[in-house]
A and B are shown apart, each in its own frame.
Chain A
Amino acid sequence: MAGLVIHLQNILRLVVKELRSIRADPVMLLLVVYAFSFAVYTVATGVKLEARDLTIGIVDEDRSEFSRTLLGAFGPPLFKISKRIAPGEIDSEMDSGRLVFVLEVPPNFQADLQAGRQTSLQLNIDATAMTQAGNGAVYIQQIVAQEIANLQAGRETTTALPINLVVRARFNPNLDSGWFSSVMQVLNNVTLLTIILTGAALIREREQGTVEHLLVMPVTPVEIMLAKMLANTLVILVAAVASLVLVVEGALGVPIAGSLPLFVLGTAIYAFTVAALGILLGTLATTMGQFGLLAIPVFVVTQLLSGATTPMESMPVWLQWTMRTLSPTPHFVAFSQGVLYRGAGLDVVWPEIAKIAAICAAYFAFALARFRKVIFT
């Protein structure tokens, strides 16, 4: 019992030491503040994955009232560029990527339409613009259908469908991608900065030889390692929650549906897990430079294949399975999306927390084994 108290006291003192070290490194602190404020804001407002700011050209061989109306219908915010082009320009405009869509209106289109003759429009799509091609095509088709309906409005007023289809998006009614990217950016930062801070804290001790000094004192390697993980987890946790409340909810106006304390609990466990990963990487590298080279691919892979960028279900099944087994990040992303967007409670998300904790135990055991090994050589 007394032994445990001493362990806890030692850990507490070492945590205080770690926090002082973090405070003494203005560059790292600046990086943390930048990543959780400015970077979150710019990513949320700058990059839109929803189809908007599309570029369309119309090859108008009809030159009718209708084709002019159609050109006018492709306006902002859905369209950034809509212009009339000559038939010979289709290839160069699309090859260069200046236009993603080109709509060809054949001669006598309006006349055929009004005469009730079967006719067609051709929509060329640059299918290399993945985020715009599919959804943009759907919107363009809807606009065309709407304009045709308007044209025919005099004769036919009812909707084309026998069903009144009502599609509603829950948790993000306007499907604003900023809601998604801002929160995911916070999660990415938790992963990236926890790895960097923890790993750098270990490498710094090894490079400066201070870990040697700690080891001749009456403290154990577990205490040293735990203190590092706890201190950095704490810093990241505070930064992440502040970012969520001040930047995401405050500045960006994204509503947070669920319980903040529950999110803090999950994030704490996750950050602690990633801190173990940071220690592990810190034991594999011997210098800061090497650590950077190791940390970047690890981070990029865990982040990209976590469901925080593109949907997890789109990945091959074997890859999904591998990532869910090896990395805590997919579970953390699922947990966060559940809590923050859908307002899910502990009764719903506990399996994700349990999985993170299980991976945490494995990481911790491995990191501790490596840590003991390298600090004594």
Chain B
Amino acid sequence: MMQAEPAARLDAVTHRYGRVTALDALTLAIPAGRMIGVIGPDGVGKSTLLALIAGVRRIQQGSVHALGGDLGVKAQREARRGRIAYMPQGLGRNLYPTLSVFENIDFHARLFGQDAAERRGRIDELLRATGLDPFEGRPAAKLSGGMKQKLSLCCALIHDPDLLVLDEPTTGVDPLSRGQFWDLIDTIRARRPGMSVIVATAYMEEAERFDWLVAMDEGKAIATGTPAELREKAGQATLEAAFVALLPEAKRAQHREVVLRPRTASDDATPAIEAEGLTRRFGDFVAVDHVSFRIGRGEIFGFLGSNGCGKSTTMKMLTGLLPASEGTAKLFGQPLAADDMETRRNVGYMSQAFSLYSELTVRQNLLLHAELYHLKPAEIPGRIAELLSRFDLADVADERPESLPLGIRQRLQLAVAVLHRPAMLILDEPTSGVDPIARDAFWRTLIDLSRDDGVTIFLSTHFMNEAERCDRISFMHAGKVLAVGTPQELAAQRGGGTLEDAFVAYLKEASGIEDAPEEPVPAAAETTQPAAPARRFDPRRLWACARRETMELLRDPIRLSFAFLGPLLLMLAFGFGISFDVEKLKFAAFDQDNSMESRQLIEAFSSSRYFDEQAPIRSAGELDRRMRSGELQLALEIPPSFGRDLMSGRLPEMSVWLDGAMPFRAETTRGYVTGLATQYAQGFAADHAASSHAPAAVTVETRFRYNQDFKSANAMVPSVIMLMLIVIPAIMSAIGVVREKETGSIANFRSTPISRFEFLFGKQLPYIAVAMGSFVMLVLIALFVFGVPIKGSAWVLALATLLYVSATTGFGQLVSSFTRTQVSAVFATAILSIIPAINFSGLMVPVASLSGGGRIIGMSLPPAWYQPVSVGVFTKGLGAAELWPNLAMLTFFFLLFLVVAQFALRKQEA
């Protein structure tokens, strides 16, 4: 059964991120058919190593072979994809939170082209094995951390991989779930003995149960072998100690044993924290259920419990971040009030996730907190210097936390929490994800604070060796406290085993799990034939992608309402709002003549629907003031002798003042004024035939084509449809890809046989469908709200729209292939699509009138080609005979964007 060939082989592999070297000329052969552990502190290159073996990261230098194939060669890499499974770091990172447990696994099964019966069978089997079967319909977002990881594992195992790569699968998971997770792996390995498993982990206790270990430091393997071999080599009893001993001299020197000093008994009458029946509900869900405990001054009190058991919620209630639904909490004898600034000065808090400003430097973060706690200005520089040296942060004082390893960031958080010398620290999983050496250093500081400064410390942790260092601990499960006591007492209460055994026993009892109802797994279930090489194009994978995207979209109310209400709202706003109909212009006359002729002239203006007469103007100063205030858009100034001069043919002057603030309006007004004055004069001439002015012999008959009433809506609505069908679909699809990059589910694209075309086009399909739905809605609004009829071929319009939205959604995907965050994708798409669509695509100005850059930009994007179709079919009665070049160009854009996006989206991470 044992293959001679290693599961993975690395030769002189070097990998850098900017100036940081993650892997340094690493050469390693990983034996097949075994359970391999990769151990070491944060930032030593464990994740990079695993990603390279899984083929999701591009090899920079050296060569990587896995399952006998050179991963540097595309064909060999693609052929191995179906046999490797990869689970990235982070709880449920590759899951789709709105999809149910079943749907998540089902999606992965579809990616491997399994048919309905096979999927159902495999999923049932995996769900039973992991104990997830009662939760089949629950959305992944609502699972606890341990369940998420089991679900991720199910997704990874759906296609019976030969190599399973797990990156810290149990970090942040409670001991009970951790145990279940590894039991599950053992069961599966028993069934498929040929499968190799490579795991990175920060828990040394876990590493004890692996077959073979790689200990890493600074991008190099410092030791390999079985756990026993490593312990023996270092001459230490535990793996944790052995690892420290194997480190290079310089690093080892930093490490000192954590010595727990006894607490100087100062049993004050008033405890530091006193919680009585503390309860917190979120809707129906009871997160914390009548929790009571007391913590003495200067005590280190530990909270242990599974994920989502209410530890963080309890801590937040004690800091005043969350109001309690029921019960009381007293800090130093004082009841906790929400706006009590005094208690806040007494408490230092560290939240579970890093919650300092990553855009401010270490020093700026400390300074901000010092100032907000109103430390005396003279005292601040000294205190910051003191903290920088005490927490060993002086070297990184002017760096931004985002570039620092987790361990250092946690030290910074602690420095901030103690900055104002609080009497109490509330620390929510302060060491989660921190490597052993950094954790020990952290604990030495905590012990100093407690023993030397008498600070009360209330913390939560998943690490049992940390729990053992607490004065007292409490086990928590499902919102309830199960037990409180010293670590020794609690361990003794449950059969005198280790603290971990006691904890697991309590948890099992509380959650009603019986021991040893081992799932009778048929050992001979190995029915799978070697996976057939994946096809280059498989419509089932494409459909899997389209289907999943659709489900996610349907479950996201904000995106869904943007997709449907967005166009509706914008169409109404544009249709009513963008109007070039200039009417009801406010005008007033400064009539210095007051003759019959002058009144007739003013009458000519006020009787026109274009003008709206206001109170007359009395003085030149008033004319100036009223125009300046914007009240008047037009002022007529008639000189004193107007009537007399007119009658005697002396060509009296009439001045018209326009408000030029809005040039388009002024220009149109000028046209109206000229027309009215001409009419008036002609009428005057006709009435006074004695005058020598003959009517003009020529008339210019104007014929408004396509839009006889010259209504803005008829012209604007078809163009607005063009605008709506690029802006909204492009933004929607731009979100689609980049969201996966942000949430991490892009890993599924990288680690499975799905091709770039299947991924992109599959994700595009639902957005094309949504856009076509919007199109129907927009056409209905055009017909019934704005009364714009379709004069030409509706089929040509529908076909052109299909091509157009295929191109515009493709444009969005192209943008999101380049961008990294959702917000930049949204704004980049908006700016790149809105500006050309409004300005250079015939909405405002006909494309034929554009020249230079504007014309080139306009012609090289789809809107300028679709606008003539929309306007042509709606108002000009055109069909395919006239519009075929536009249809051809839209097809071209659709294909172009799809192809370019495929080049831009890399299957492997850099």
Contacts and interface: CB of A to CB of B under 8 A. Distances in A.
B367 to A, nearest CB: 9
Interface string A273-303: 0000000000001011111111011001100
Contact of B848 (A13, A98, A219): A98
Contacts of B360: 17, 20-21, 24
A287 B822 contact: yes
A264 interface: no
B872 A80 contact: no
B654 A165 contact: yes
A162 B693 CA distance: 8
B848 A100 contact: yes
Given A161-B677, A289-B822, A293-B735, A172 B706 contact: no
B368 A13 contact: yes
Interface in A1-48: 6, 9-10, 13-14, 17, 20-21, 24-25, 27, 31, 39, 43, 46-48
Nearest to A293: B562
Contacts of A162: 646, 649, 651, 681, 684-685, 691, 693
Interface stretch (B23-31, B315-323, B798-806): B315-323
Contact of B710 (A9, A134, A159, A338): A134
Given A127-B708, A209-B355, A218-B373, A163 B826 contact: no
B390 interface: no
Contact of B731 (A123, A177, A293): A293
A374 to B, nearest CB: 13
A51 interface: yes
A342 B822 contact: no
Contact of A172 (B355, B584, B666): B666
Interface stretch (B65-73, B266-274, B567-575, B750-758): B567-575
Given A171-B661, A311-B582, A313-B583, A301 B359 contact: no
Nearest to B850: A53
Contacts of B660: 169-173, 175, 179, 341
Interface stretch (A111-119, A230-238, A239-247, A355-363): A111-119
B790 to A, nearest CB: 14
B663 A96 contact: no
Interface in A123-138: 123-135, 137-138
A53 B850 CA distance: 7
A216 B825 CA distance: 34
A100 to B, nearest CB: 6
A120 B868 CA distance: 31
Of A27, A210, A316, A344, most B-chain CB atoms within 10 Å: A210
A144 interface: yes
Interface in B46-84: none
B628 A123 contact: no
Contacts of B842: 97
Contacts of B872: 95, 97
B729 to A, nearest CB: 13
A125 B703 contact: yes
B11 interface: no
Given A47-B839, A126-B705, A127-B715, A21 B668 contact: no
B654 A125 contact: no
Contacts of B580: 130-131, 134, 310, 314
Contacts of B351: 209, 212-213
A176 B872 CA distance: 31
Contact-size category for A: 35 or more
A262 interface: no
Given A122-B701, A292-B823, A132 B373 contact: no
Contact of A128 (B356, B714, B739, B826): B714
Contact of A208 (B355, B658, B871): B355
Contacts, number: 398
B854 interface: yes
B849 A54 contact: yes
Interface string B829-848: 01000010001001011111
A2 to B, nearest CB: 11
B339 interface: yes
Contact of B845 (A49, A118, A304): A49
Interface stretch (B145-153, B295-303, B342-350): B342-350
B673 interface: yes
A101 B850 CA distance: 16
A166 B651 contact: no
Interface string B280-321: 000000000000000000000000000000000000100111
Interface in B671-704: 671, 673-675, 677-678, 680-681, 684-685, 691, 693, 696-704
Contacts of A25: 359
Interface stretch (B104-112, B325-333, B524-532, B875-883): B875-883
Given A127-B710, A216-B319, A177 B663 contact: yes
A305 interface: yes
Contact of A95 (B579, B664, B876): B876
A200 B660 CA distance: 38
Contacts of A158: 693
A262 to B, nearest CB: 13
A171 B674 CA distance: 20
A337 B654 CA distance: 27
A12 B576 CA distance: 44
A137 to B, nearest CB: 6
A113 B702 contact: no
A134 B671 contact: yes
A294 B712 CA distance: 28
A74 B364 CA distance: 66
B584 A313 contact: yes
B826 A292 contact: yes
A9 B339 contact: no
B191 to A, nearest CB: 40
A124 B705 contact: yes
Contacts of B714: 127-128
B570 A218 contact: no
B793 interface: no
A371 B102 CA distance: 37
The 4 closest A-B pairs by CB, nearest first: A292-B826, A172-B660, A289-B822, A169-B660
Interface of A: 6, 9-10, 13-14, 17, 20-21, 24-25, 27, 31, 39, 43, 46-55, 80-81, 92, 94-100, 113, 116-135, 137-138, 140-142, 144-145, 148, 158-173, 175-177, 179-180, 196, 200, 208-210, 212-220, 285, 287-294, 296-297, 300-301, 304-305, 309-311, 313-316, 319, 334, 337-338, 341-344, 348-349, 376-377
Given A46-B853, A169-B659, 5 more contacts: A120-B699, A138-B674, A165-B656, A179-B660, A208-B358
